[in-house]
């Protein structure tokens, strides 16, 4: 299961941008991911920033549009971008964009027809990190995580459940309280069933309310984002962090929407923020 096929490997910004695929034990499918590794001294181990993508995306969206390589090269950061769900023949799907393939919501599903393959929590939290540690020059004691929209939800919840693993966490326009918005209610209900108590471990605001803690968070949100009021609701995260004493930097960005034009604009800021917290101790 740890055999990795190189799909492509291209020189860029003083490093190698690769795309890879492997057979996943967690999802029971072939999974693809991308990794940028900057040039480094032989034997060196570099800090890792994980980027989790949003609805409808694959690893390719941020790889092609994220504009992260120059900054990662300057800062000596490995950048890992997984897919958002299992895919392929025999994998359950839904005709809507916000459920099924491309919309895994970083959960381990417990409901049919999703249970056999939709185990993105296990894939991101356990299987893929073990593969990255074995196959790339990654210092797994220095990990940060970020993501966009559904991937921002994934980054926040994974970090809150694993605070000992991640030294830094940030997000771009995250779904902060999926239990309270239409995207999340549909996905969590479909993947996990009607018992809303089971949803709480996949909801950043609920996790904080239930005692999960990280020292600090960085969130950028576009004020012109058409999903802001109904689906994203960053004020709920601000309220939860204020109550819990978590240092949240929430930057509302005038004129920016939900697209990769927004993400790429602030990507370097996020990577520099992570790099400061991932320095060797």
The residues annotated with a catalytic role in the active site are 149, 225, 258
Q: What does DSSP assign to residue 210?
A: T
40 vs 87: CA distance, rounded Å: 34
65 vs 83: CA distance, rounded Å: 15
Residues comprising the chain, all counted = 281
What are phi and psi for residue 181, nearest 5 degrees? Answer: -135, 155
Please say whether the beta carbons of 213 and 241 come within 8 A.
no
Lay out the sheet containing 46-52: strands in order across. 4-12, 15-23, 30-38, 78-82, 46-52, 138-147, 166-172, 216-222, 247-253
The SS3 assignment for 33 reads strand
Please say whether the beta carbons of 230 and 182 come within 8 A.
yes
Query: How many angstroms separate the most distant Cα atoms in the chain?
Result: 52
Q: What does DSSP assign to residue 230?
A: I
Q: 143-170 b/e with 16+ CB inside 10 Å = b?
A: bbbbbbbbbbbbbbbbbbbbeeebbbbb
The SS3 assignment for 71 reads helix
């Amino acid at each position: 299961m740890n055999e990795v096929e190189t799909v492509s490997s291209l020189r860029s910004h003083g490093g190698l941008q690769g795309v890879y695929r492997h057979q996943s034990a967690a999802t029971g499918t072939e999974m693809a991911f991308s990794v940028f590794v900057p040039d480094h001294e032989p034997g060196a181990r570099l800090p890792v920033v994980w980027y989790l993508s949003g609805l409808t995306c694959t690893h390719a969206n941020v790889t092609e549009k994220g504009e992260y390589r120059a900054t990662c090269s300057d800062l000596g950061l490995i950048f890992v971008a997984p897919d958002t769900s299992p895919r392929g023949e025999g994998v359950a799907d839904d005709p809507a964009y916000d459920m099924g393939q491309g919309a895994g919501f970083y959960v381990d599903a417990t409901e049919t027809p999703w249970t056999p393959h939709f185990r993105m929590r296990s894939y991101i939290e356990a299987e893929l990190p073990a593969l990255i540690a074995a196959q790339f020059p990654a210092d797994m004691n220095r990990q940060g995580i970020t993501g966009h929209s559904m991937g921002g939800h994934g980054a926040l919840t994974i970090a809150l459940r694993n605070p000992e693993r991640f030294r830094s966490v940030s997000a771009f326009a995250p779904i902060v309280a999926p239990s309270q918005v239409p995207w999340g209610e549909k996905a969590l209900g479909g993947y996990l069933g009607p018992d809303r108590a089971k949803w709480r471990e996949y909801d950043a605001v609920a996790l904080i309310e239930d005692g999960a803690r990280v020292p600090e968070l960085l969130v950028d949100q576009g004020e012109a984002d058409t999903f802001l009021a109904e689906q994203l609701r960053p004020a709920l995260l601000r309220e939860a962090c204020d109550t819990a004493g978590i240092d949240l930097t929430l930057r509302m960005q005038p004129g920016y929407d939900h697209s990769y034009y927004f993400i790429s604009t602030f990507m370097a800021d996020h990577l520099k923020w992570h790099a400061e917290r991932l320095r060797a101790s």
